[in-house]
Amino acid sequence: MLAQPPPGMLASHFMTLNGPSPATFAARRQRVLDALDSAVLFIPVTEEAVFANDVHYAFRPDTNTRYLCGIEEPASLMLSRCGSDCDGFSLFVRPRSEQSETWTGKRVGVDGAKNTFGADHSYPGDVALETLRRTLKHARTLHYGFSRDHNLNREVAEMVHQANAERPREGGAPLVLADAAPLLAEWRQIKCEAELALMRKAAEISAQGHNELLARAHPGMNEYEVQAIVEYRFRASGCLGPAYGTIAAGGDRATVLHYTRNEFALRDGELLLVDAGGEYGGYCADITRTFPVGKAYTPAQADLYDLVLAAQHAAIDTVAPGTPFDAPHRAALKVLTQGLISLGILSGDADTCIESEAYKPYYMHRTSHWLGMDVHDVGRYRNDSGGPISLVPGMVLTVEPGLYFRADADVPEHYRGIGIRIEDDVAVSGNGHVVLSSDAIKERREIESLRARAF
């Protein structure tokens, strides 16, 4: 028999490092329970992903499970309010095992789940579906967290079908199967003060990592060393790791939007684009900076850098409560398109170029996405009639215009092979916005003076 960990003492062992307080998780669950009217919310376990043979990738829990209790090991979660014997908060966890724990570390266990996570009921993971089936007999609605495991999704859908097949005989209204994701997305989209504090911390640490690169990058350094430097800063400052795959792209690799190979040497005269952010307490930062591998931007690089930075300033300026979500994108497009015309890359007038999407070969992505517990966070972008939703305080979005000229792009030669993106994390405040990542240096003169000092 394994000794039970002292209650509370080892909570951090099983919960998100530096994450929200137990009271925050309890409040979130209460909010869901209050919204459940004869309904059940069930989020199935996320299994560990195999790296090779019996070696696994670092485990990342389902984000909604993490949002509702902060458990950092494979577990299914149920919140029920339908008059069944397991109403309230149930966790289905891996049972403790001397053999397994010798290899992969302590498990919270069935008994520990109650103490550590405040579960009303806890069970071994393998009875999760059977318990759900029993609970559904009393429910009107199942809010189900659809999984990447399609067989599991089919099994749950079949379970709902079976329940409805029996109801004409047994009585009770039909059971409705609903996706749990939109229900939770609506709440996750608006961050409370405690969440914003974690996001600010993630952004501050990440900004410091970017700033350190300005002092340390040099010609001949490899992209993977750049990655190691920023990720060292994330981890040395309390992040468990990067929030997504770090992009360290020298030269024309910067024109590959999701370049992640990071395996080439940096060359003098080229730019280095670094898109990297840490995850702190379960919340993400997402910052991109683009600076010269040598001391200064070439004139062509400076033209494009100043243009992207002007577009970013214009886009950030639009962020305020009541503003449509796509206002930053439209502001960035206007500046970028006008600039591309001035530089002789596009011709005609800006409105026509925007209308015809003439800019699109060089700016092919949107300017913003939601940011939160996931780097491309949940939340709607459009309302029911298809228009952009309005920003409200507590939303956090990236603002990340860029310009990308592939080595074979149909532009003047001195612009070819240049990719630039500048990305910050912006929280909508009561009367405007706060740039969470404002510590990351981006003014060109400041970058060049730091680069000059680096050599």
Question: Catalytic residue positions?
Answer: 54, 258, 275, 286, 365, 369, 376, 400, 404, 421, 423
Query: Is 63 or 398 the residue whose CB approaches Mn ion more closely?
Result: 398
Query: Is 76 or 398 the residue whose CB approaches Mn ion more closely?
Result: 398
Picking from 272, 258, 270, the residue whose alpha carbon sits closest to that of residue 225 is 272
Q: Which two tokens stand for residue 169?
A: 């005989």
Query: At residue 435, what is the residue type?
Result: V
Does residue 286 belong to the site contacting Mn ion (CB under 5 A)?
A: yes
Residues 412-441 touching Mn ion, rule: CB under 5 A, are: none
Which part of the chain contacts Mn ion (CB under 5 A), choosing from 15-23, 193-201, 256-264, 284-292? 284-292
In what order do the strands lie in the sheet containing 176-179? 121-124, 88-93, 75-81, 39-43, 141-144, 176-179
Smallest distance, Mn ion to C-beta of residue 324, A: 20
Query: Is 46 or 398 the residue whose CB approaches Mn ion more closely?
Result: 398
Smallest distance, Mn ion to C-beta of residue 286, A: 4
Which part of the chain contacts Mn ion (CB under 5 A), choosing from 183-191, 265-273, 286-294, 312-320? 286-294
Q: E-assigned strands of 22-133?
A: 39-43, 50-52, 55-56, 75-81, 88-93, 121-124
For residues 359 and 336, is the Cβ–Cβ distance under 8 A? yes
Does residue 73 belong to the site contacting Mn ion (CB under 5 A)?
A: no
Smallest distance, Mn ion to C-beta of residue 287, A: 8
Which part of the chain contacts Mn ion (CB under 5 A), choosing from 134-142, 164-172, 244-252, 390-398? 390-398
- Residue 142's H or E segment, with its range, is strand 141-144
Residue span 2-41 as binding mask against Mn ion, x where in contact by CB under 5 A, dash where not:
----------------------------------------
Query: Is 195 or 423 the residue whose CB approaches Mn ion more closely?
Result: 423
Smallest distance, Mn ion to C-beta of residue 29, A: 30
Which part of the chain contacts Mn ion (CB under 5 A), choosing from 98-106, 179-187, 330-338, 398-406? 398-406
CB atoms within 10 A of CB 99: 6
Smallest distance, Mn ion to C-beta of residue 423, A: 5
Residue span 340-379 as binding mask against Mn ion, x where in contact by CB under 5 A, dash where not:
----------------------------------------
CA 334 vs CA 351, 363, 387: distances in Å: 8, 12, 20
Does residue 312 belong to the site contacting Mn ion (CB under 5 A)?
A: no
**Residue 341 φ/ψ, nearest 5 degrees:** -70, -45
If DSSP codes are grouped into helix, strand and coil, which group holds residue 61?
Answer: coil
Picking from 135, 122, 131, 31, the residue whose alpha carbon sits closest to that of residue 80 is 135
| Helix residue spans in 356-411 (DSSP H) | none
- Residue 67's H or E segment, with its range, is helix 63-69
Which region holds residue 365: left if phi is over 0, alpha if psi is between -120 and 50, else beta? beta
Query: Is 231 or 286 the residue whose CB approaches Mn ion more closely?
Result: 286
Smallest distance, Mn ion to C-beta of residue 59, A: 24
Smallest distance, Mn ion to C-beta of residue 400, A: 5
Per rule CB under 5 A, count of chain residues that contact Mn ion:
2
On the CB side of 24, CA atoms within 13 Å amount to 17
Query: Is 398 or 437 the residue whose CB approaches Mn ion more closely?
Result: 398
Smallest distance, Mn ion to C-beta of residue 245, A: 12
Does residue 398 belong to the site contacting Mn ion (CB under 5 A)?
A: yes
Smallest distance, Mn ion to C-beta of residue 151, A: 33
Which part of the chain contacts Mn ion (CB under 5 A), choosing from 317-325, 330-338, 377-385, 397-405? 397-405
**How far apart (Å, rounded) are the C-alpha atoms in residues 233 and 212?**
8
Query: Is 72 or 424 the residue whose CB approaches Mn ion more closely?
Result: 424
Is the dihedral angle over the CA atoms 239, 244, 248, 251 positive or is it negative?
negative
Query: Is 42 or 259 the residue whose CB approaches Mn ion more closely?
Result: 259
For residues 140 and 39, is the Cβ–Cβ distance under 8 A? yes
Angle at 381 between CA 375 and CA 387, to 5 degrees: 165
Query: Is 272 or 396 the residue whose CB approaches Mn ion more closely?
Result: 396
For residues 168 and 85, is the Cβ–Cβ distance under 8 A? no
Which part of the chain contacts Mn ion (CB under 5 A), choosing from 187-195, 221-229, 377-385, 395-403? 395-403
Q: Going by DSSP bridges, is the β-strand pair 39-43/141-144 parallel, antiparallel, or unpaired?
A: parallel
Residue span 236-275 as binding mask against Mn ion, x where in contact by CB under 5 A, dash where not:
----------------------------------------
- Contact set with Mn ion (CB under 5 A): 286, 398
